[in-house]
Chains A and B, each alone.
Chain A
Amino acid sequence: DAKTTQPPSMDCAEGRAANLPCNHSTISGNEYVYWYRQIHSQGPQYIIHGLKNNETNEMASLIITEDRKSSTLILPHATLRDTAVYYCIVRAFPTPIKFYFGSGTKLNVKP
């Protein structure tokens, strides 16, 4: 199963874009990249996922490199409520469908 590497922590100024990188150099052709976040003392929350094309939803954008070995989650206008641990995950296929959560990136949004 492909594993992911993320920086342990990042800071971002409130109102600025937060760009969270993730390396997944051993990803297989049919594995998706998922992003979740975990706000303190809560269960993780789904953000976005993608295969090869860039994706955007109301929460964030996901940029996947052409070789799919890395990706970046973009929060366009970070707020204090976005302070959380962000997990980049690659799904294992074909079955069973497991999610492997690494240690994530602690994003600190500062006023």
Chain B
Amino acid sequence: GAGVSQSPSNKVTEKGKDVELRCDPISGHTALYWYRQSLGQGLEFLIYFQGNSAPDKSGLPSDRFSAERTGGSVSTLTIQRTQQEDSAVYLCATTSGGYNEQFFGPGTRLTVL
């Protein structure tokens, strides 16, 4: 596609349930980032994938959070046993690498009841 797409656009779940968020990057972009943005806050880095290298998971807030990127393309962010504090917009961004700009998707708004 022409840009980064994310699905679902909105997700409402109950506390304790698992959720999966999907990111489809721009074709050919080797680097992929996940961020979290709580209401009225800046972006919080979560995880970074670059090609076939081991991902940088240093931003993941707890072991309930995990992400994978299959075949260097689509990425899924999984949150297990969701908590109310996980409610936020989850943004995915991709870049062709180096000093190039990041292209952001529209985000997934997660609400944990």
Binding site for B on A (CB under 8 A): 32, 34, 36, 42-46, 49, 87, 91, 95-104
Interface size on B, residues (CB 8 A): 24
With A43-B105, A45-B104: A96-B41 Cβ-Cβ less than 8 Å: no
Across the interface, which residues of B come within 8 angstroms of A96, CB to CB?
48, 50, 56
Chain A: CB-nearest residue to B40: A103
Chain A: CB-nearest residue to B97: A97
Chain A: CB-nearest residue to B45: A98
Is the beta-carbon distance between B42 and A103 smaller than 8 angstroms? yes
Can you name 15 A-B pairs with beta carbons within 8 Å? A43-B105, A44-B91, A44-B93, A44-B102, A44-B104, A49-B99, A49-B101, A87-B43, A96-B56, A97-B97, A98-B48, A98-B56, A99-B33, A99-B45, A101-B42
**Residues from 50 to 72 in B contacting A, C-beta threshold 8 Å:** 50, 56, 59
Is the beta-carbon distance between A46 and B102 smaller than 8 angstroms? yes
Across the interface, which residues of A come within 8 angstroms of B43, CB to CB?
44, 87, 99, 101
Binding site for A on B (CB under 8 A): 4, 31, 33, 35, 41-45, 48, 50, 56, 59, 91, 93, 97, 99, 101-107
Is the beta-carbon distance between B107 and A43 smaller than 8 angstroms? yes
| A contacts with B: majority SS | loop
Q: Choose from B41, B42, B56, B93 the contact partner of A43 (Cβ within 8 Å).
A: B93
With A43-B91, A43-B107, A44-B91: A99-B102 Cβ-Cβ less than 8 Å: yes
Is the beta-carbon distance between A104 and B42 smaller than 8 angstroms? yes
Across the interface, which residues of B come within 8 angstroms of A32, CB to CB?
99
Is the beta-carbon distance between B41 and A103 smaller than 8 angstroms? yes
* Docked pose: A43 CA to B35 CA in angstroms: 10
Is the beta-carbon distance between B42 and A102 smaller than 8 angstroms? yes
Across the interface, which residues of A come within 8 angstroms of B31, CB to CB?
97
Is the beta-carbon distance between A43 and B48 smaller than 8 angstroms? no
With A43-B107, A98-B56, A99-B33: A87-B42 Cβ-Cβ less than 8 Å: yes
